Structure 1
Amino acid sequence: MSIKTIKANITRLQAQLWRNRQYLRHTQKQLALIARASPASGHRSRQQLRALKAAIARDSASLETLNQALIAAIDSQANPQIQEILTRRYLGDEPFAAIAAAMGYDLRWVYRLHARGLAAGAEPQDKREH
């Protein structure tokens, strides 16, 4: 999986986790209100809560796996400058202009090194070893 794909999946999972946590809080508040009104609706709400908690746990585990894959893909880069650019971009979420300024490089050079890093990360493992 490419670095960009991993980062896109991480961003998607973070948004999904945020939505599920918001929905969990809302459902917990609703459960407190309806538990007194009807046992059946309280039971449905408790089932929803269990499903949401399971989804949050599953998504959190997937997010951790993707973060580890992203770190491994960045650490597999041979060039330390490319590693730093990819780390700042994909782990630090820094814009390219800030990366160029911090590293003392021209913005176009940062773009080129970034492209090289992505291309190297997309190569199969056996090709890189030869």
Structure 2
Amino acid sequence: MGVDPKNALIEGEITSIDLDKRILYVKRRDEPVFFCELTEFFQGDISLPIERVFHAVKFSNDQKINVADVSVEDLIKSRYSKFSDGKIYLDTCLVGKYLSSRDVAGSKGTTLLSEKWVLSITQNGRP
């Protein structure tokens, strides 16, 4: 059974990049994530809701970046496809930085916005 593309999303901090092999390693993922000539990277607001990355987001050309501009510790949200060889390839990839506690009211340290949303639901029963 394949991965449902509507639910195929990778989110996390980049821990390592190998541009020659076209591989990214993402925190809390044991397997490498691959990119290819069809992978598009865009720099933007990483707090963009996950649902917006699931669907065909229209990024502007001035947001488009080269993979060489992606750094360790950058945060990514990306749709992906898993091929028959078991490799995971990124599709459209949003790249940004962690939000600092100054950027998000009530934040303690650097936490993904989606994690804050889940915490809010857990504590309050609603977002």
Q: What is the TM-score normalised by the length of structure 2? A: 0.27
Q: What is the TM-score normalised by the length of structure 1? A: 0.27
| Structure in which a larger fraction of residues adopt strand | 2
| Structure in which a larger fraction of residues adopt helix | 1
